[in-house]
Chains A and B, each alone.
Chain A
Amino acid sequence: LLARIAPDTWLYNSPMQRVYIGVVVCEVLVIAALWAFGRAFA
């Protein structure tokens, strides 16, 4: 199913793989920062 719906997946496209991982890492960091910012001034 994955091969059908994702013809060029991160599994075998290494330059994009790093970008996708970067997106996830950045999102987690941004959400954590927003949460900490709110907690610090609550």
Chain B
Amino acid sequence: MHIIDWIVVAAYLTWIIWTGIRMSHSTKELDGYLLAKRSLPWWAVGLSVMATQLSAITLVSATGQGYADGMRFVQIYFGLPLAMIILSVTLVPFFYRARVYTAYEYLEQRFDVKTRTLASVFFLLSRGLSCGVVVAAPSVILAIVLGWNLTLTILAIGIPTAIYTIVGGVQAVTWTDVKQMFIIVGGLLAAVVLLIGGLPDGIGMMGALQVAGTAGRLTSVDFTFDMTQTYTFWSGLLGGLFLSLSYFGCDQSQVQRYLTARSEDEGRGSLLMSAYFKIPLQALVLLTGVLMFVFYLFNAPPMLFNPKHDERIQQSPRAAEYKSLEAEFNAAFELRREASTTLATASGAEREAARTAFESADDTLSGIRSRAATLVGEITGDETYRGRTGDTPAPDVNYVFPTFVTTYLPVGIVGLVIAAIFAAAMSSIAAELNSLATSSVIDVYKRLLRPNETDAHYLVASRFFTGFWGLFACVVAMFAAGLGSLIEVVNRFGSFFYGSLLGVFVLALAFRNVNGHGAFAGLIGGIGTVAIFASHPATRDVSFLWHNPLGMIAVVVFGLIVSALTGGRAKEALR
């Protein structure tokens, strides 16, 4: 990386840490530190909600997904706007009127302490581990692509984030999120402009899109009903609806964002901001990936984007075989470039022949890339090289965008985009650290261990737990970085948990006769049901999006049965 890019990244880090530390003046009380005294405007909270959800891995993976598989991924967000409306009329008023710090506090008001504790412990476990993965994923990619030391990269992301979150609390999280959102969008727009500018002379934007469309990269809506497919209209609308309800309604890292808003309506407004802008923003991220695909039709891409095993392949006895594949790939790329140019400039009757020639050239290139991935898998024993995303080897997807940035973008813009990746990571991590500390202090430390301490004591405890979770995330990240399967386990664990947690809140709001025993048993039953469903040979191919409605329904069924067997409910629902 050029010295100017280093300066841009360093300036970004300094600016963000300074912004966070400046917020320390308004965090002298627990209410200010954890909830900003419920004083923040809807637009700042709304941007914070969006920044928290847009992690670095979303930014890097989704652009790679756009490159490899086109715009189909956007369908996963089709349920989100409807979820925001449902939450605005249901959970948001309950949380505001209950004056809670955490979503799980409400479960004690409605059920009992064991249900609250179980829900918060599940949250702390899954979110604590996933926070480590959120630190690890971009660190691994940046370390490989930029040749940085992995441990230092993890610390460069984790430590500044922990510092400003410890010092500035939720105010720091929100106001840094606002600035980070502008950096992320700015970085993406800069990449889009340069990608469009990188098209060769004589190739217009319409012609380029024609080629992308022929390669299937612009198909965004697929009305097929197939529960094994994640990226269809129905999976996105229904499965995505329940995923969004769970994530934004029951996950403390999101609930805490809108609990900081000035009023109930401002809290709603912050959620509805995502309802309006999330799909267009995600479409922009994916379109960046599609434009990278177009760019690489006319500019030579590497045969494989992930350089992780390069050295090992060069030193293996099959190095010559790999080199010969590279020569074949380069020749096939030249043929595809010609076919792409012909298709982009063809009109009328010529177009059909040009389309057939392009499809054939693209298939040949993809075939060579697949053979190269198989070879790397055989040499290194890396099982992930068996998987495919679209026509691209699965381990390559996360490396497309960083490779493009570091290879083709001009000095200064590279620093801006790397800063955007840092911003996406830090905004998610800060919100998670803040919510983990809040739940640790309010749901566990204050409720179960030290109930009668002063406000100042809990404030110190909150700062301590923020630091503890920051350290925990960095340690998990160092382990997760070397264990690909751990990342999958953490994500799978999260998907078991989300629908079930939503089910407990549905029991709380919609069913009068459910008691604490029912809710507690329902939560365990729901998670168990999803775990069995996800691992059973007959159902394990069903997309994870459907785990959310399944978990919710299982909790409701178990909760109603156990409540009926244990004498119904004792407490009135909170108004």
Residue positions of A touching B, CB distance < 8 A:
1, 4-10, 15-16, 19-20, 22-24, 26-27, 30-31, 34-35, 37-38, 40-42
**Which single residue of chain B is at the shortest CB-CB distance from A42?**
B213
**Which single residue of chain A is at the shortest CB-CB distance from B237?**
A31
Please indicate the chain B residues that have their CB under 8 angstroms from the CB of A15 in the complex.
Answer: 265
CA distance A9 to B91 in the complex (A): 11
Listed stretches B12-20, B76-84, B137-145, B469-477; interface member: B76-84
Residue positions of B touching A, CB distance < 8 A:
71, 74, 78, 81-82, 84-85, 88-90, 93-94, 97, 209-210, 212-214, 218-221, 233, 264-265, 268-269, 272, 275-276, 279-280, 283, 509-510, 512, 573, 575
Contact in complex: A16, B268 (CB < 8 Å): yes
CA distance A35 to B214 in the complex (A): 15
Please indicate the chain A residues that have their CB under 8 angstroms from the CB of B283 in the complex.
Answer: 30, 34
CB-CB under 8 A for A27 and B575, given A34-B74, A38-B219, A41-B212:
no
**Which single residue of chain B is at the shortest CB-CB distance from A27?**
B81
Contact in complex: A31, B90 (CB < 8 Å): no
Contact in complex: A41, B220 (CB < 8 Å): no
Please indicate the chain B residues that have their CB under 8 angstroms from the CB of A7 in the complex.
Answer: 93-94, 97, 575
Please indicate the chain B residues that have their CB under 8 angstroms from the CB of A37 in the complex.
Answer: 218, 220
A39 to chain B, nearest CB (A): 8
16 pairs across A/B with beta carbons < 8 Å? A4-B573, A7-B575, A9-B89, A10-B89, A20-B89, A22-B276, A23-B272, A24-B85, A27-B81, A34-B220, A35-B221, A37-B220, A38-B71, A38-B213, A38-B221, A42-B219
CB-CB under 8 A for A5 and B218, given A23-B84, A27-B279:
no
Complex A-B, nearest 3 residue pairs according to Cβ-Cβ distance, in ascending order: A41-B213, A34-B220, A35-B221
A30-B280, A41-B209 provided; 15 other pairs, C-beta below 8 A?
A5-B510, A7-B93, A7-B94, A8-B89, A8-B264, A23-B85, A23-B275, A26-B276, A27-B78, A31-B78, A34-B74, A34-B220, A34-B283, A35-B220, A42-B214
Q: Between A and B, how many residue pairs show CB distances below 8 Å?
A: 82
CB-CB under 8 A for A4 and B212, given A16-B268, A27-B82, A31-B221:
no
Please indicate the chain B residues that have their CB under 8 angstroms from the CB of A5 in the complex.
Answer: 90, 509-510
B91 to chain A, nearest CB (A): 9
Contact in complex: A41, B218 (CB < 8 Å): yes
Among candidates A10, A16, A23, A38, residue contacting B220 with C-beta atoms closer than 8 Å: A38
Please indicate the chain A residues that have their CB under 8 angstroms from the CB of B268 in the complex.
Answer: 16, 19
**Which single residue of chain A is at the shortest CB-CB distance from B216?**
A42
CA distance A23 to B108 in the complex (A): 33
CA distance A18 to B203 in the complex (A): 44
Among candidates A1, A8, A40, residue contacting B93 with C-beta atoms closer than 8 Å: A8
**Which single residue of chain A is at the shortest CB-CB distance from B575?**
A7
A8 to chain B, nearest CB (A): 5
Among candidates A16, A22, A34, A38, residue contacting B88 with C-beta atoms closer than 8 Å: A16
Please indicate the chain B residues that have their CB under 8 angstroms from the CB of A23 in the complex.
Answer: 81-82, 84-85, 272, 275-276
**Which single residue of chain B is at the shortest CB-CB distance from A26?**
B276
Please indicate the chain A residues that have their CB under 8 angstroms from the CB of B89 in the complex.
Answer: 6, 8-10, 20
CA distance A22 to B84 in the complex (A): 12
Among A15, A22, A27, residue most surrounded by chain B Cβ atoms (within 10 Å): A27
Please indicate the chain A residues that have their CB under 8 angstroms from the CB of B218 in the complex.
Answer: 37-38, 41-42
CA distance A1 to B510 in the complex (A): 7
**Which single residue of chain A is at the shortest CB-CB distance from B78?**
A31
CA distance A41 to B204 in the complex (A): 14
**Which single residue of chain A is at the shortest CB-CB distance from B97?**
A7
B290 to chain A, nearest CB (A): 10
CA distance A22 to B269 in the complex (A): 12
